[in-house]
Homo-oligomer: A and B are copies of this chain.
Amino acid sequence: MEIYIFRVSSSKKNKRLIIFSNNQRPPLILPMASSHTHSPQDPKPLIVIHRIPSFSLTFAHRLIPSFSLFDPLAAAGDADPAAVLRSHAAEARAVLCVGPSPLGKETLDCLPSLEVVVTQCAGTDHIDLSECRRRGIAVANLGDAFSDDVADCAVGLLIDVLRKISASDRFVRAGSWPERGEFSLGVRVDSYADLQLEGKQVGIVGLGSIGSRIADRLIPFGCMISYTSRHKKPNVSYPYYRNIHDLAIKSDILILSCSLTDQTHHIVNKQVLAELGKDGVIINVGRGALINERELVKFLVEGEIGGAGLDVFEDEPNVPKELFGLDNVVLSPHQAVLTPESIKAAQDVVVANLEAFFSNKPLLTPIGWD
């Protein structure tokens, strides 16, 4: 059996690749050395790399000393990847998800020996969790490796929307300051009362490792935190609301930091936006499909909501063009997790989970099945 080793490509689609590669020593263009081939005699455990074409494994050098890596996508060529998987990796006990490659029943059917799925993604919405659970396959996510970065990004987007930092930066760069002598602060002149952070009611949707870090950060700004989540958190003193509607009614600002699941898909709909109200601001660092984007665009364009800071979108990399002209909106290309420190931390978690599994130790960051 051959092993496929990934090259650092400068493909324009490989955003994460390019970024990762700057953090890599030694460089990731590894030789296709025969010593790395996987054969029945190879004592190294086999890991299937599950990815979509635009993502590649960027830290293969950290895994190759201990594991054999098999990439069905690279191996398949013109052949059917499922067939390649069946014929070459039927004995694999572990899958490593690289990027948000959907992992569902069809792939799992090809891997009858599978015991663990380790993902390099911040979210697990690409994995069919209930199917894994049904088959007794453990799933390890990244724990809180990305949580600080995402929380920082959420706060940055919030300050930016309220204080119109990106909009005023555009204003200055356009040379408008000397020409116009004023900064109009966007179209909604009557809603300046939204600008100060102090005293704002911030509703956090999903008070997990990211949401709780956002709360920690906003407290010194004088924000008042409340939240909704599947369950009321023990040892958390912030007011809890059973559903997003009650939270939206109470909040000036709604921050989405929950997972995307069947239950949270379009959790922000027309009704929630109306409840948040004309001066309300929405920040999304979760997943685009948490919001009914068509409705959000309508509310923003019609001035029925105060503003939005969005790191994620329903149809990435496509962003509704109606938003491009709005000064009360900040648009970020799904980069809340893109600092090298957190990428390194995420790689550490992936390696540690795989090493733990093959040493018969508990996974570091298994997801719960609640």
Which residues of chain A have a CB within 8 Å of any CB of chain B? 11-15, 18-19, 22-23, 54, 148-149, 152-153, 155-157, 159-160, 162-166, 168-173, 175, 177-178, 180-185, 189-190, 192-193, 195-199, 213, 216-217, 219-222, 316-319, 321, 324, 330-333, 335, 338-342
Q: A178-B317, A183-B15 are in contact. Are A196 and B153 (CB under 8 A)?
A: no
**Most chain B beta carbons < 10 A, residue from A216, A330, A333:** A333
Q: Which of B148, B162, B168, B321 makes the CB contact (< 8 A) with A333?
A: B168
Q: A182-B12, A182-B15, A222-B148 are in contact. Are A195 and B339 (CB under 8 A)?
A: yes
Complex contact A196–B339 (CB within 8 A): yes
- Nearest CB in chain B to that of A213: its residue: B220
- Name the B residues within 8 Å of A319 (CB-CB): 172, 177
Given A168-B331, A196-B341, A198-B341, 16 more pairs with CB closer than 8 A:
A12-B182, A19-B185, A152-B162, A156-B159, A160-B165, A164-B335, A165-B166, A166-B169, A168-B332, A171-B333, A175-B324, A183-B335, A195-B338, A195-B339, A216-B220, A219-B220
Q: Which of B23, B192, B220, B317 makes the CB contact (< 8 A) with A181?
A: B317
Complex contact B331–A169 (CB within 8 A): yes
Complex: A302 Cα to B327 Cα, angstroms: 31
Complex contact B12–A335 (CB within 8 A): no
A339 CB, min distance to chain B CBs, angstroms: 4
Complex contact A192–B339 (CB within 8 A): yes
- Nearest CB in chain B to that of A180: its residue: B12
Q: Which of B165, B172, B184, B198 makes the CB contact (< 8 A) with A148?
A: B198
Complex contact A18–B182 (CB within 8 A): yes
